[in-house]
Amino acid sequence: MSAHKPGGPRPGLGVAMIGYAFMGAAHSQGWRNAHRFFDLPVRPEMNVICGRTESATRAAADKLGWADWTTDWRRVLDRDDVQVVDICTPGDTHAEIALAALEAGKHVLCEKPLANTVAEAEEMTAAAEAAQGRGVLSSVGFNYRRTPALAYARRLVEEGAVGTVRHIRAHYLQDWIVDPEFPLVWRLQKDKAGSGALGDIGAHVVDLSQFLTGQRLTEVSGHLTRFVERRPLAQETSGLSASGGAETGEVTVDDAAVFFGRTDGGALATYEATRFATGRKNAMRIELNGSAGGIAFDFESMNELHVYDGTAHPRDAGFRRILVTEPDHPYTGAWWPPGHGLGYEHTFVHEIADFVRDVAAGTPPTPSFADGLQVQRVLDAVERSSAAGAGWTAV
C-alpha cells in the first residue's frame, strides 16, 4: 500500500472475506460502497470470498461483487493481493481463522461476538496485541456503534449532556423464532454460536452501553431461558429465514436473557435480549438517565435520537426528537440531504470506512479485540450467574 497522491488513483487494499451469508452480504455492501461515499486514502479491492460450498460460494462471489472465490480459507492467507481478512462466519471458527490471519500478517476485521468462549477471546486478544507491534491491525464488528444517532449520542454524553450516568436501560428485542416450527439453524446451536440471544444480540447492547457511557460493567446478575427445547432440523437457510424437515434436534442455547449490572462509574444497568418479543423485529433500544439529562434511542427508528435536558426550566422540559441526518452529524454528511435517512446497511459501510481509514493510517481501530474480550467476559459472567441462581457475579 503506497501513499495517495492528490488527484492520482487511490492505492488498493486487497480484501478477503470468509463467509457469505447474512453478515457476508452486509459487510460486502460496506466493502463495495465505503470508498464511493467516504473520501478514503485507499480503495478496497474485493479480491476473494471464501465459503464451504463451491456452488454457493461461486454464486455469492458473483452476486456480492467479489473477483474470485475459494472453499479453503487458508488459501487466502498465502495471497499477496490480500491485506485484510474479514471474518463473517459463525463464532466457532472466529478464533482459528483470526489467529492464522494475524500470524500471516493480515489485518483482521472479525464479526461479533469476538469468540464463543472467554479463553478463545483471550488468545485472540493476545495475538492481536502482539500483531499490532508488527503493524498488523484488528477490530471486532460491533456495527451499531456506527449508527449516526448512536455516534452522536456518544458525543453528547462526552460533552456532559446527561451528567453523571445513573441508569443504563438496554433492550434488544427480536421475534424471528417465536414459531416453534422455525428450524434449528446454527444460531440455535451452542457448539456453533456459543450462546443464543445473549451472545448474538445481548453482546450488541453490552458493547453499546459501555461505548456510550465510557464505563465498564464490573458485576452482573442474570437469568437465561429457553422456551422451545426442540426444533425441526434445518434444510435450507438464508439469513434469518430457513425451512425445516420432519426430524427434530435439541436447541442448546438461550432464547432470552435478562440481566442487570453495575458499572465502574457507579451506574445501574438493566438488559433484556430476546428472540421471543412478538412484534419486535430489531428493536435495539437504549436509554441513559443521568444527573443532567437523558438520551433514548430505538433502532426501529434509527435516524432519531431523543434527548432530555434536565437543566431546562420544568415548564419547557421534555424529550426532544432530533433527526440525526444533518451534514454535521457523524457519518451523515457523506450521504443524502437532511431528512432522507439511512438504514441498517449504512452501519456496515461506516464500519468499513472507519476500519480502512485506520488501517491506511496505521492507527489501531476500535472496537479492539480487547474490547470484544471484555464483552465476552460480561456474557460469560451472565451465564455463570444464571447457572448459579442469578447472584451477583464479577465480570
Q: Of 120 and 200, which has the nearer Cβ to ligand SOE?
A: 200
CB nearer ligand SOE, residue 202 or residue 290 = 202
Q: Does 186 bind ligand SOE (CB under 6 A)?
A: no
Output the smallest distance, CB 185 to ligand SOE, in A. 10
Choose between 113 and 290: whose C-beta lies nearer to ligand SOE.
113
Considering the complex, state which of residue 260 and residue 299 has its C-beta at the smaller distance from ligand SOE. 299
Using CB positions, name the residue nearest to ligand SOE. Answer: 200
Which is nearer to ligand SOE, 201 or 353 (by Cβ)? Answer: 201
Beta bridge partners, 18, equal 50, 87
What DSSP element (H or E) covers 347? helix 344-361
For residue 42, what is the enclosing H or E element?
none
For residue 337, give every residue at least 6 positions away whose Cβ sits within 8 Å of its Cβ, in sequence order, or none: none
The sign of the dihedral angle between the CA atoms of 16, 18, 20, 22 is negative
Give dist(CA 249, CA 95) in Å, integer.
26
Backbone angles phi, psi at 266, to 5 degrees: 90, 10
**Consecutive H or E run containing 13:** strand 12-18
CB atoms within 10 A of CB 366: 15
Nearer to ligand SOE, 86 or 200 (CB): 200
Q: Of the two residues 200 and 354, which places its CB atom closer to ligand SOE in the complex?
A: 200
Report the candidate in 367, 157, 388, 385 with the shortest Cα–Cα distance to residue 261. 385
CA 154 to each of CA 3, 169, 174, 209, 393: distance values in angstroms, whole numbers, following the listed order = 32, 15, 24, 10, 28
- How large is the angle between the packed helices 22-37 and 54-64, nearest 10 degrees? 30
Query: What are the residues whose beta carbons fall under 8 Å from the beta carbon of 4, sequence distance 6 or more?
Result: 10, 11, 41, 42
Restricting to residues 278-297, which ones interact with ligand SOE according to CB under 6 A? 282
Minimum CB separation from ligand SOE for residue 200, in Å?
5
Q: Which is nearer to ligand SOE, 100 or 240 (CB)?
A: 240
Instruction: Please compute, for residue 90, the number of CA atoms within 13 A of its CA located in the half-sphere on the CB side.
Output: 15
Shortest separation between residue 362's beta carbon and ligand SOE, angstroms: 29
Q: How far is the CB of 23 from ligand SOE (least distance, A)?
A: 7
State the nearest-atom distance from the C-beta of 221 to ligand SOE, in Å. Answer: 24
Q: Scan residues 159-178 and list those touching ligand SOE (CB under 6 A).
A: 174
- Shortest Cβ distance from residue 318 to ligand SOE (Å)? 31
Give least dist CB 180 to ligand SOE, A.
Answer: 18
Q: Give the helix/strand (H/E) hosting 68.
A: strand 68-70
Cβ at position 49, least distance to ligand SOE in Å: 19
Binding residues for ligand SOE, total number by CB under 6 A: 6
Q: Which of 201, 205, 212, 305 binds ligand SOE (CB under 6 A)?
A: 201
For ligand SOE, the binding residue among 1, 4, 11, 22 (CB under 6 A) is 22
Q: Is the separation of the CB atoms in 265 and 165 below 8 Å? A: yes
CB of 271 to ligand SOE, least distance (A): 15
Q: Which is nearer to ligand SOE, 48 or 184 (CB)?
A: 184
CB 196 within 8 A of CB 250: no
| Closer residue to ligand SOE in complex, CB, 122/200 | 200
Do the bridges between strand 230-238 and strand 241-250 make them parallel or antiparallel, or are there none, so unpaired?
antiparallel
State yes or no: residue 116 binds ligand SOE (CB under 6 A): no
How far apart are CB 121 and ligand SOE at their closest, in Å? Answer: 17
| 200: contact with ligand SOE by CB under 6 A | yes
d(CA 197, CA 260): 15
- Interface positions, 306-345, toward ligand SOE (CB under 6 A): none
Positions in 235-264 near ligand SOE (CB under 6 A): 240
Interaction site with ligand SOE (CB under 6 A):
22, 174, 200-201, 240, 282
